[in-house]
Amino acid sequence: MSLNKPVILDGTQVADSIKKELKIRVERLREQGVTPCLATILVGDDPASATYVRMKGNACKKLGIESKRVVLGASTTTEELIAAIQELNDDPAVHGILLQHPVPHHIDERAAFEAISIEKDVDGVTMLGFAQNAFGQAAYPSCTPAAIIAILDYYDIPVEGKHAVVVGRSPILGKPVSLMLLNRNATVTTCHSKTRNLDQLVAQGDIVVAAVGKPNFIQGEWIKPGAIILDAGYNEGNVGDCDYETCYEKAGAITPVPGGVGPVTIATLLKQTVDSAEKTLK
């Protein structure tokens, strides 16, 4: 057990610092005749997805970023979705495209993601964007991994030489954050559903990233005393992938859920949209 209370890695505070700078950048762009625009595509009638899209739209509005909403019916085909994406690719007023996922099961989600122009892939979902991230060259890395790195940077938490254990290997979270930590000279272990002795591996982590999508999955007894815990999970009931109470007892620093990685993920999406808009002036 830690003798001192862990540092709470306050994502709302980190997000506010990002958005404060963004507001200035957006005002500067608007003075030059460019209004940053994020297009969000919602397919079907999933209420959680609709809520996420609405939250992102509200966040845009507060900063003076235009939010263009494209709502498609649940029966939309892959071809129709790709056509809608292509229209946004061709629209010079749109600087970023976000396809809210998951999409209905009959749609080829990967084909839809790949239709997004790399110049407008501000959510970091394309294979080309992933490859650029692997080389440390991504203009727009996946937003949640980028948010995790932003939190580490904000709190001046060293990564180089540390052992980072990432639990989860999704192509837009676990894998890219593993690569980003590796590019920061961490030694990275990526765990997944087939990993054996998971608790023993997590116990080696100086930095633990929870990205598994299971509520209260990672237990405090697995945690190395003083470890930095970044919980990227968000499950029903406002709980993360870590059992917060028991992990708190062992951690040196920990993100809460809610109020940890989530707000920084949205701020990162907005930042990358503004980055894209600024490139149109060059």
In sequence order, the 6+-apart residues with CB closer than 8 A to the CB of 282 are none
Half-sphere exposure of 144 (CA within 13 A, CB side): 22
Catalytic residue among 121, 123, 231, 241: 123
| Active-site residue identified among 100, 175, 241, 243 | 100
Phi, psi at residue 58, to the nearest 5°? -65, -40
100 is catalytic: yes
DSSP secondary structure string for all residues of 63-107: HT-EEEEEEE-TT--HHHHHHHHHHHHH-TT--EEEE-SSPPTTS
Q: Choosing from 19, 56, 224, 250, which is the catalytic residue?
A: 56
Report how far residue 6's alpha carbon sits from residue 247's, in angstroms, rounded to the nearest whole number. Answer: 10
> Apex CA 108: angle with CA 103 and CA 113, to 5°?
75
123 is catalytic: yes
Please indicate whether residue 86 is annotated as part of the active site: no
Cα angle 156, 162, 166 (rounded to 5 degrees) comes to 95
Are 145 and 137 contacting, i.e. CB atoms less than 8 angstroms apart? Answer: no
Contact residues for 72 (Cβ-Cβ < 8 A; gap 6+): 41, 42, 43, 44, 80, 81, 84
Helix (H) or strand (E) holding 173: none
Enter the DSSP assignment of 172. T
Any idea which residues carry the catalytic annotation?
A: 56, 100, 123
